Structure 1
Amino acid sequence: MKLTEPQIDNLYKFTRQHYVYHYDVQTELVDHLANDIEQIWEEMPKLSFEEARDKSFKKFGIFGFMDVIEAKQKQMNKRYWKIILRFAKEWFTIPKVITTIGIFLGFFLMFQIPYSEYIFFGTLLILIIFEMIAVYKIRKEHKAKEKSDEKIFLLEAMIGTTKNGYTGFAMVNLFNFVNLTRFDFSGLSIYWLILISFTLTLLSILFYVSNFVLPQKAEELLQETYPEYKMVKNL
């Protein structure tokens, strides 16, 4: 016996009630539940839809769908970082490599100025505030989409909230490190200045890619990842 459209819709609502918020993860679970329910009905045809659904759900264990959600997040996290690195590599090709060298030299020269750590400290603080505001706005948008039952894909959420979480976390740690160690950049050897400038150049590129490039390319990346994305969004 095949499931009806209302029963499929019920499974989507069921996964949402069990804290599965992203449409692509919901769809994967709905497909699994639907196939399992049909197999259960072959063995026990007298069971109602709800009974067969609950029986199938119990097979996920006491944590329900949480293990599946965690596995999908890890899988998408790897894809997310591959996308970031793909766009970051473009900064080491002409003409962007010239900009990259300029950023490196900017850091290198700045750190040779007396009390440059305070300039760095202040800039970092401004960026952290920017990140916090961006995270707040994006989370507010996603909550509004959830309330209106708009379909949100996992990668779509990661391009929004996760990028800010990673960059914000890195900046806060860097801020704390500079503040606690009381670094005097102008007193460091040239080798340390080169290493620090190179590291900060890479972080700057990652920050720009995750905060500006990916959001601009979001639609293209989502259609590339999810063939059904455009059709689902137009429903």
Structure 2
Amino acid sequence: MKLTQNHIQELYKFTKKHYVYHYDVQTELVDHLANDIEEIWEEHPNLSFEDARQKSFKKFGIFGFMDVVEAKQKQMNKRYRKILWRFFKEWFTLPKIVITLTIFLSLFFFFQIQYSEYFLLGILFILVGFDLFNQGKARRNQKNKVKNEDIVFLLEDMIGQTRGVFSWLVFCNIFNTINAFKISFSSIENHWLLLISFSATLIILLFYVTAYLIPEKAEELLIETYPEYKLAKSL
């Protein structure tokens, strides 16, 4: 006995009911459940679809699909780190290395200006406001997807979440560092200013890659990661 298309749709609903919200994870679980249910039917042909499904689901243990979801999240975290590293490395190749050096030297000379830390705080607050506005738009789009029951992939969700988390880490750490050290940047020796400028350059690049570059390339990355992405979005 084979599963019908209606059965498959019921399995998708079943996984969502058990807190699996990402389409790629749902698809993997549905494929596993479908194969297992058909094997169960070979041994127990009179068993109803619901009973066979429940029998298959019990094999996942007391935590249900949570172990599978966690495993997929770890797997996708590794993939995301590789994507991040790929985009980040590009800033140390021509012609972007020129932009990187320009940022580094600009920061180095900027920090030598008296009271530069206060200018930096002002710039920081402006960036916070701008980024909060962009994050608000992104969250509204995500809520609309959930409300409309649109298909959402795990990597797609991860890109949005990482953007917000990294932004706040950057802003908070810079703000706390400036307030923790009451020494003016202009009075610090040059070798320390070089180190601060280098660290700030790396942070700026990471922020740009996670907050803007990767989200802009999200569609391309999703097509690269999921062969079924275009087909799923057209459903």
Q: TM-score, normalised by structure 1?
A: 0.91
| 2:16 corresponding residue in structure 1 | 16
Q: How many corresponding residue pairs? A: 235
Q: C-alpha distance in 2, partners of 1:210/1:127?
A: 15
1:34-76 CA deviation, whole Å, 9 max, x = no partner? 1222222233333211112122222222322222222212211
Partner SS, residue 6 of structure 1:
helix
CA drift of 1:11 comes to 0.7
Query: Do the aligned residues in 1 keep the contact of 2:162 with 2:210 (CA within 8 Å)?
Result: no
Rounded Cα–Cα distance in structure 1 between residues aligned with 2:173 and 2:9:
44
Q: Deviation per CA, 1:3-46, whole angstroms, max 9, x where unpaired?
A: 11111100101111122111111101111111222222233333
Mapping for residues 51-200 of structure 1, pairs under 5 Å: 51-200=51-200
Structural RMSD (CA): 1.8
Q: 1:201-216 alignment to 2 at 5 Å?
A: 201-216=201-216
Structure 1: state its 5+ residue gaps.
none
Equivalent residues of 1:41, 1:47 under 8 A apart: yes
The alpha carbon displacement at 1:108 in A equals 0.8
Check whether the contact 2:87–2:209 (CA below 8 A) recurs between aligned residues. yes
For the residues of structure 2 that align with 1:71 and 1:135, how far apart are their CA atoms?
A: 28
Deviation (angstroms), 1:121: 2.1
| Cα distance in 1 between the residues matched to 2:82 and 2:174 | 24
Please list every run of 5 or more consecutive structure 2 residues that lacks an aligned counterpart in the other structure: none
1:209 and 1:28, CA in 2 relative to 1: closer, same or farther beyond 3 A?
A: same
- The verdict on how the C-alpha distance between 1:6 and 1:196 changes in structure 2, with shifts beyond 3 A counting, is same
Of all paired residues, the percent bearing the same amino acid is 60
CA distance in 1 between partners of 2:169 and 2:56 (Å): 39
Query: Does the 8 A contact of 1:114 with 1:186 survive in 2?
Result: yes
Please state if 1:38 is matched with 2:34.
no
> Offset of 1:204 from its aligned partner?
1.0
Relative to structure 1, the CA distance from residue 61 to residue 125 in structure 2 (aligned partners, 3 Å threshold; closer, same or farther) is: farther
CA–CA distance in 2 between the matches of 1:77 and 1:131?
24
Moved more, 102-111 or 133-142: 133-142
Matches of 2:139 and 2:31, distance apart in 1: 28
What is the alpha-carbon distance in structure 1 between the residues aligned to residue 159 and residue 195 of structure 2? 29
Q: CA deviation at 1:183?
A: 4.6
Q: Which residue does 1:47 correspond to in 2? A: 47
2:3 counterpart SS class = coil
Q: Distance in 2 between matches of 1:123 and 1:100?
A: 19
Q: Which amino acid in 2 is paired with 1:43?
A: E
Are the counterparts in 1 of residues 88 and 209 from structure 2 also a CA contact under 8 Å?
yes
Distance 1:195 1:21 in 2: 44
Which aligned runs of 4 or more in structure 1 are off by greater than 6 angstroms? Answer: none
CA distance in structure 2 between the aligned counterparts of 1:7 and 1:183, rounded to whole angstroms: 67
Deviates more, 1:60-69 or 1:143-152: 60-69
What is the TM-score with the length of structure 2 in the denominator?
A: 0.91
Task: Note if contact 1:134-1:164 (Cα within 8 Å) is conserved in structure 2.
Answer: no
Equivalent position amino acid for 1:123 in 2: I
Quote the offset at 1:92 in angstroms. 1.4
Amino acid of the structure 2 residue aligned with 1:181: F
Q: Bigger shift: 44-53 or 3-12?
A: 44-53
